[in-house]
Chain A
Amino acid sequence: MYAQMVKSTGEGVKSPEDMTAEERAFQERIDAGEKIEPKDWMPAGYRKTLIRQIGQHAHSEIVGQLPEGNWITRAPTLERKAILLAKVQDEAGHGLYLYCAAETLGVSRDELTEDLLSGKMKYSSIFNYPTLTWADMGAVGWLVDGAAIMNQVPLQRTSFGPYARAMVRICKEESFHQRQGYDIMMKMANGTPAQKRMAQDALNRFWYPSLMMFGPSDQDSVHSAQSMAWKIKMNTNDELRQKFVDQTVPQAEYLGLTVPDETLAWNDDKGGYDFAEPDWSEFFDVIKGNGPCNVERLAARNKAWDDGKWVRDGLLAHAEKRAAAKVAAE
C-alpha cells in the first residue's frame, strides 16, 4: 500500500457500550471476518477513512508512473523497455481498480483527481524522490514495490470487499515487479565497476525513503487504532517496517551491497535486525510539499490534466452526439 498517515475519526475506538446498535452489529461482522460490501450499512467514519486511504493509494499509483516513465525512453535494451512499459501499464491499471473501489463508496474519480491536483489529497512520499540512474529502476522495484507489498499482502484480508479484491489482483502484479527490480539490481551489482557504483548509489538514496513509506511509528495513534479495529489497517507501521528490514537486509548482502546504516545489527533476542530510524523531519518536509520532486510531480499531473481537457471534452461531446442520434433513430 502507498497510504501514509491516513486520518480516521480521531476519536479513538468506541467501546461496545458506547456504540449504537447499528455500530455494534457492524463491528461484530468485522470481528467475525465478514466482508463489508458497498450497499451495506457502514459508519460514516469508516466510509470517510476508506475513501482517504484508497484515494491516496490510487493517487500513488498514478504519480508513481512518473519516476519510472523518466527511464522508459532510456531503457538500455528492448526487453528492459518492454518490462518497464508493462510495469507502468500495470500501475495505471492499479490506479483504475482503486478509483473504482473508491467510487463504490460514493466519491467519483474526477472528484478524487481534483483533490490530488489541488494538493488537498496526498500520494506516497516515496514518489517525490528523483530517479537518477538506471539502477534506480532496480531499486524502485526491489525496495519501493517490496515495501508496498509488505502492506498490501495483509490488506487482501481487509474488511471492505472491493478493496480486498482489488488488492488480490494488485499483489500478484506487484510481486512480479519486485522480482524484476531485483533482477535489474543483480545485473548491476554483478556488472562493471560503473554499474556496481550505480547500484550502491541507488540503495544509498532509496533506503531511508523506503523505510519512510510505512509512516512514522503509530503505536499511540488514535487514527491507526480505529483503522485496525475496522480492519482497514492490519498491522502497525513499526511491525511492517521491521518485517521489511528483516527481509531486505539479506537480499542486499546477496547483492554484495551495503545498507547505508552503520547501526544495523542482528538482534537474537527479538529475532530481527536493529536498525536506524529514518530522519523523520525529512519525511514531514516531503509530506508538506518540500521533497526533491513534489513541485515537478504535481506540475506534471496538472499539465497532463489541463492539456487533456480538450480530449475529454471532445470524446464526451462525440458520445453525446451518438447517443442523441440513436434516440432520434428509434
Chain B
Amino acid sequence: MAADPFFEFLCRMGDNTLVLGHRVSEWCGTAPVLEEDIALANTALDLIGQTQMWLGLAGEVEGKGRSADDLAMLRDAWDFRNVLLTEQPNGDFGQTMMRQFLFDAWHVAMLDALTRSTDPRVAEIAAKAVKEASYHVERSGDTVIGLGDGTDESHRRMQAALDLLWPYVGELFVPDSVDDAMAEAGIAPDLTDLRAAYDDHLAKVMATATLTIPDSAFAHKGGKSGFRHSEHLGHMLTEMQWLQRAYPGATW
C-alpha cells in the first residue's frame, strides 16, 4: 500500500484523463467525418485540461516539487495509476466510442460525487470537470446508440467493441485500500455505491442501441494499482514522453 493514498487517488484521476486524452488525440485528422474530428479534439482537449488540474494537485499534495508535467512526462509505466480501460488501443471508431462511453458513464458519476468532497480543492476540480464529462457522456452515448442501431455492419462492430471492452469495466468499481481510505476521509465516494446507477444507465443506452451486455462479471485489474498494466501503456509513454526524455532539462 502506498504511503499517501490521497496522492495515489489524485494520480488515478489524472492518469485516467491523461491516458484516455492521449488515446483520443491519436485520432487527429482521421475521423470518419469532419464533425467527429472536431468533437474528438474537443474531448481530448477537455481531458488534458482536467489532467493538468488533477496532476497539478497531486504534485502539490506530494510536496516534492513535482509539477503536473513532471508527473505526466517523467514517470514510468509502473507509476501510472489509470484503469486498464483507458489505455486500450483505439481500434476502429466504434471501439474508441465504446471505450469513451464506458468510461464517461463512470466518470460523470464519480465527478458528480466528488463535487461533494470534503477536500475543497477536489470539489472545485470536480465541479469544473463534471460539466465537460456530462457533455462527453451524452455524445458518446448517442454515438453508441446511433451505431448500435444503425446498419448490420455497424451493429456487429459495436457489439464486438462492447464484448472486447466489457471485462475492463469492473476495475472502475472494485475498491482497494486507496479507495477505502478516500471514502473514509470523505474525499471520494465509495465506488461500490456508483455501480447500480451505472448499470441502469448502461442498460438503457445498450437497450436503445440494440446491444447485449455480456453476461459476465469478470474484471481485469492491475491498472489503478499499477501492479500490472497492459503492454499498450509502455508504447504510449514511449511516444508521449519522448521529447522530455531525449532532451532532459530543456524548457518547451
Contact = CB atoms under 8 A, between A and B. Distances in A.
B147 interface: yes
A314 B37 contact: no
Contacts of B29: 62, 65-66, 69, 88, 92, 300, 304
B31 interface: yes
A317 B33 CA distance: 15
A329 interface: no
Interface stretch (B5-13, B111-119, B151-159): B151-159
Interface string A63-86: 001101100111111111110011
Nearest to A198: B247
B232 to A, nearest CB: 13
B224 to A, nearest CB: 21
Interface string B122-152: 0000000000000000000001011101110
15 contacts: A62-B34, A73-B25, A76-B243, A76-B250, A77-B69, A78-B55, A79-B52, A85-B45, A92-B34, A192-B249, A307-B92, A310-B154, A312-B33, A315-B147, A318-B146
B191 interface: no
Contacts of A109: 34
Contact of B32 (A75, A95, A311, A317): A311
A298 interface: no
Contacts of B155: 314
Given A313-B153, A318-B146, A192 B49 contact: no
B30 interface: yes
Interface string B213-252: 0000000000000000000000000011011100101111
Contact of A312 (B18, B32, B92): B32
Interface in A257-293: none
Given A74-B240, A78-B48, A310 B252 contact: no
Interface of A: 62, 65-66, 68-69, 72-82, 85-86, 88-89, 92-93, 95-96, 99, 109, 134, 184, 187, 191-192, 194-195, 300, 303-305, 307-319, 321
B150 A65 contact: no
State which size class the interface on B falls in: 35 or more
B30 A303 contact: yes
A191 B251 contact: yes
A85 B25 contact: yes
Contacts of B69: 77-79
Interface string B8-32: 0000000000100010011011111
A78 B157 CA distance: 33
A92 B33 contact: no
Contacts of B98: none
B44 interface: yes
B146 A81 contact: no
B41 A81 contact: no
Contacts of B42: 89
Contacts of A319: 146
Given A69-B28, A72-B28, A85 B44 contact: yes
B200 to A, nearest CB: 23
A88 B147 contact: no
- Most chain B CB inside 10 Å of its own CB: which residue of A77, A134, A194: A77
B250 A195 contact: yes
A89 B45 contact: yes
B169 interface: no
A170 B202 CA distance: 40
A69 B30 CA distance: 9
Given A85-B44, A192-B247, A192-B250, A311 B154 contact: yes
Contacts of A65: 28-29, 37
A270 B185 CA distance: 73
A315 B68 CA distance: 39
Given A73-B239, A82-B48, A314-B146, A307 B32 contact: yes
Contact of A314 (B25, B48, B151, B247): B151
A126 to B, nearest CB: 15
B38 A191 contact: no
B94 interface: yes
B151 A78 contact: no
B45 A78 contact: no
- Most chain A CB inside 10 Å of its own CB: which residue of B22, B29, B41, B239: B29
Contacts of B151: 310, 313-314, 317
Given A79-B69, A313-B150, 12 more contacts: A62-B34, A69-B29, A73-B22, A76-B244, A77-B252, A85-B28, A134-B243, A192-B250, A194-B250, A195-B250, A300-B30, A311-B93
Nearest to B246: A194
Contacts of A72: 25-26, 28
